[in-house]
Amino acid sequence: MSAADLSGRRIVVSAGPTFEDIDPVRFIGNRSSGKMGFAIAEAAARRGAQVVLVAGPVSLPTPPGLQQRVDVRSARQMREAVIAQLPADVYIGAAAVADYAPAEVAPGKIKKKDEQLTLALVRTPDILAEVAVHARRPTVVVGFAAETHDVEFYARGKLEKKKVDMIAANRVGVSGSGFESDDNALTVYWLDGERALGPAPKTALADQLLDLILARWPA
Ligand code: CTP
Ligand code: CA
């Protein structure tokens, strides 16, 4: 890794959770601190890339050297923000996007009434899959996968189904790694290979992931 080995590259990173509002005081969200995506954005900027960070609701400071940070709340807003940033050389989807959102947002606070409440949920857009088949598709599209079991099976499934170049799967269950932690362990899969990274601080993993992306850059 040299100091400016990403100079001239335009990299879009999405990070953090999305919040899908139920009513003015409640939402459906994901457990994601945003630290992994922010670390990737920071590392890429340090290595000379023009970085746009699309961030869900997180409480993290903006990394130095970014070209732009766009804050969003919902999956739908994240999709709009990401698509608006194309074309790019690389898209790294590190966000924990909610898969379902309430079919409608109640205009006022829902009051408790019956013993049971059923919420109708609808699928959110799959941002990663859309970017990967977009007319302005980035040269390299990288997704993440959060799995609790059968990690390789599901990660390779996502690689194929979403037509992305790499999937970085969180190895959950490795002690001290994962959601709110500063450390993580990833296994990165591509069509004809894989590499285990960490356990290591997310900042170190970010650089190792960027190294892998550069090494596999199409000639
Ligand atoms: N992703 C996305 N838009 C969604 C859902 C997921 O862009 N609506 C992206 C995530 O940012 C991640 C990748 O897809 O890069 C995989 O997310 P994950 O939740 O692991 O996979 P899903 O396809 O949502 O499948 P499931 O949750 O059922 O495992
Ligand atoms: Ca999901």
In a domain, 77, yes or no: yes
**Number of domains forming the structure of the chain:** 1
**35 Cα–ligand 1 center, Å:** 17
Give the CATH number, domain containing residue 171: 3.40.50.10300
Q: Which residues of 73-107 are buried (b: 16+ CB within 10 A; e: fewer)?
A: bbbbbbbbbbeebeebbbbbbbbbbbeebbeeeee
In a domain, 94, yes or no: yes
Q: How much is the ipTM here?
A: 0.99
Q: Count of alpha carbons within 13 Å of 84, Cβ hemisphere only?
A: 13
In a domain, 75, yes or no: yes
In a domain, 112, yes or no: no
Domain containing 92: what range?
Answer: 10-102+119-216
130 lines ligand 1 (CB under 6 A): no
Q: Which ligand is nearest to the CA of 95?
A: 1
Closest atom of ligand 1 to 130 CA is 7
Q: Mean pLDDT across the stretch 200-205?
A: 96
Cα gap 111→153, rounded to integer Å? 43
Q: Which ligand is nearest to the CA of 128?
A: 1
Tens of pLDDT along 136-191? 999 999 999 988 899 999 999 999 999 999 999 987 666 566 666 788 999 999 99
**Ligand 1 atom 9, closest CA:** 128
How many other C-beta atoms are found inside a 10 Å radius of the C-beta of residue 197? 20
In a domain, 74, yes or no: yes
In a domain, 30, yes or no: yes
Question: Chain-wide mean pLDDT for the chain?
Answer: 94
